[in-house]
């Protein structure tokens, strides 16, 4: 799982590196319409009402969907309704640009955020085949349920009835929604407009479910009816309820994006080696290394997040030493260290479309500076002759290629282990100039893509 926007110490192009200027995404103002109050789910909660609450928190308060779900925002709903509310929220976020374009010609000015989000939910549903009667009626009811917006129920009714009549045809002509300009411009500079457009298409499509097998991946693929990917992960297009899949209770696998599974593979730990997973939660990489027989220490600042690591280890029958603490203060000596550093998480937008909308990029600089401290400290924990994998789920070269190049300049006793990338499924075009691995969402685009990641295996001289 990603480690999005954690300002703490435990977080988380072809043939050459992308552009390496120190340009960083520019912050942008989200703002709220005057008179808006934070939307709270009141009374009987419906999937649309829950989606409205989530959208208003994300777009108005800058909160992350994962945070809201972790705090029980949907716990009052039955499982099927919970899944529908989350699906509605994700689809609106992925199609926000389209929904706003469809609505714009019917509005003289932007309504309060709560009403704007009601209209966005309605427009998205109506333009993608939703039942007009049910969609419009509940949109009006949601508008009337709050005294601040009661007077706008007529506007909502009129606008959505117009959208019901012509919106679907217009929707089909609209371009693939683009990333916010403050993030898109640096990515175009680094990868080119065509590549970024391909990433945006993958973001719109959403992400399938990837699994890492504790044992034989081919057997797991057959058991769950999934596809075996070239790098050894198993992919499911329509997974349904995860805990109902074969092998869940037996602990035969865990959820882990195919890109996120590669750092532990290139570290290639051996049975009996001492290994530090420096920012371990939720534990996918810890489990990979424990399954290989290594003696793993799983370190994370958050005890709550470490509880998930403990649960995952128990379910899979694997073991690791669990340590809660500040990564920059941790001491020890290890054969290998895996540092999945806290970062912008810009590589995970296909699964987390709220990220570029809830966050404005203002914290990226602090995260980049923290990564510098963390990679240097991680190097100090590795025995002579040992190795370190540095990785981030980011598309920004400042959080990947630049970090490794500059770390090697500061620490001359280290070098890149290019041979670590000689693994099944890793394509030559993914390897960067300095010997790292740059993964992008549009890679395997016709199969559902992958998370954007950067990783490199570094070796300390004996």
- Residues designated as active site: 393
Concatenating the DSSP letter of every residue in 64-118 gives -HHHHHHTTTTTTS-HHHHHHHHHHHHHHHHTHHHHHHHHHTT-SS---HHHHHH
Round to whole Å and give the CA distance between 189 and 24: 11
What is the C-alpha to C-alpha distance for residues 186 and 397, in angstroms, rounded to an integer? 10
Residues near 6 by beta carbon (within 8 Å), at least 6 away in sequence: 12, 342
- Tokens representing residue 249 in the block: 């209770």
Distances in Å between the Cα of 43 and the Cα atoms of 40, 52, 282 are: 10, 14, 34
Nearest residue to 341 via CA among 25, 9, 18 = 9
Integer Cα distance of 139 and 235 in angstroms? 36
The residue among 226, 202, 92 whose CA lies nearest residue 443 is 202
- Residue 125 backbone dihedrals phi, psi, to 5 degrees: -65, -45
Classify residue 154 by burial, with Cβ atoms within 10 Å: 0-12, 13-18, 19+: exposed
Helices and strands: H and E segment counts in the chain: 16, 12
243-267 as b/e: b if 16+ CB within 10 A: eebebbeebbbbbbbbbbbbbbbbb
Number of Cα atoms under 13 Å in the Cβ half of residue 445: 14
CA distance 152 to 451: 41
What DSSP string runs through 184-216?
A: HHHHHHHH-HHHHHHHHHHHHH---EEEEESS-
Strand 274-277 to strand 234-236: parallel, antiparallel, or no bridges (unpaired)?
unpaired
């Amino acid at each position: 799982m990603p480690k999005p926007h954690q300002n703490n110490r435990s977080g988380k192009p072809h043939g050459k590196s992308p552009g390496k200027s120190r340009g960083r995404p520019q912050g942008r103002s989200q703002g709220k319409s005057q008179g808006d109050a934070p939307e709270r789910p009141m009374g009987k909660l419906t999937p649309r009402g829950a989606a409205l609450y989530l959208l208003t928190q994300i777009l108005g308060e800058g909160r992350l969907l994962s945070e809201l779900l972790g705090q029980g925002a949907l716990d009052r709903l039955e499982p099927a309704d919970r899944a529908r509310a989350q699906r509605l929220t994700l689809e609106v976020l992925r199609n926000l640009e389209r929904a706003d374009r469809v609505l714009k010609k019917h509005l003289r000015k932007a309504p309060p955020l709560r009403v704007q989000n009601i209209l966005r939910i309605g427009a998205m549903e109506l333009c993608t085949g939703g039942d007009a009667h049910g969609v419009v009626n509940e949109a009006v009811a949601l508008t009337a349920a709050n005294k601040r917006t009661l007077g706008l129920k007529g506007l909502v009714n009129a606008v959505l009835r117009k959208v019901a009549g012509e919106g679907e045809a217009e929707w089909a002509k609209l371009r693939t929604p683009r990333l916010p300009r403050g993030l898109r411009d640096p990515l175009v500079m680094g990868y080119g407009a065509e590549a970024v457009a391909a990433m945006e298409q993958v973001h719109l499509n959403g992400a399938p479910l990837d699994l890492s097998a504790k044992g034989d991946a081919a057997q797991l693929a057959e058991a769950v009816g999934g596809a075996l990917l070239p790098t050894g992960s198993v992919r499911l297009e329509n997974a349904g309820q995860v805990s109902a899949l074969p092998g869940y209770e037996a602990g035969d696998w865990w959820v882990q994006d195919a890109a996120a599974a590669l750092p532990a593979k290139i570290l290639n730990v051996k049975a009996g080696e001492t290994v530090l997973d420096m920012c371990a939660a939720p534990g996918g990489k810890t489990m990979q290394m424990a399954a290989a027989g290594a003696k793993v220490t799983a370190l994370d600042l958050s005890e709550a997040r470490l509880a998930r690591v403990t649960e995952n280890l128990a379910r899979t029958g694997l073991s690791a030493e669990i340590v809660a603490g500040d990564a920059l203060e941790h001491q020890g000596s290890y054969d290998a260290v895996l540092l999945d550093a806290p970062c912008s998480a810009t590589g995970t937008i296909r699964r987390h479309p709220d990220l570029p909308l809830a966050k404005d990029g203002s914290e990226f600089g602090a995260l980049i500076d923290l990564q510098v401290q963390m990679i240097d400290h991680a190097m100090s924990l590795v025995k002579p002759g040992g190795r370190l994998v540095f990785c981030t789920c980011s598309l920004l070269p400042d959080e990947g290629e630049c970090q490794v190049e500059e770390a090697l300049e500061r620490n001359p006793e280290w070098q890149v282990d290019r041979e670590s990338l000689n693994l099944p499924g890793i394509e030559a075009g993914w390897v960067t100039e300095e010997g790292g691995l740059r993964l992008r969402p549009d890679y395997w685009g016709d199969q559902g893509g992958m998370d954007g990641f950067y990783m490199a295996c570094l070796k300390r001289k004996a």
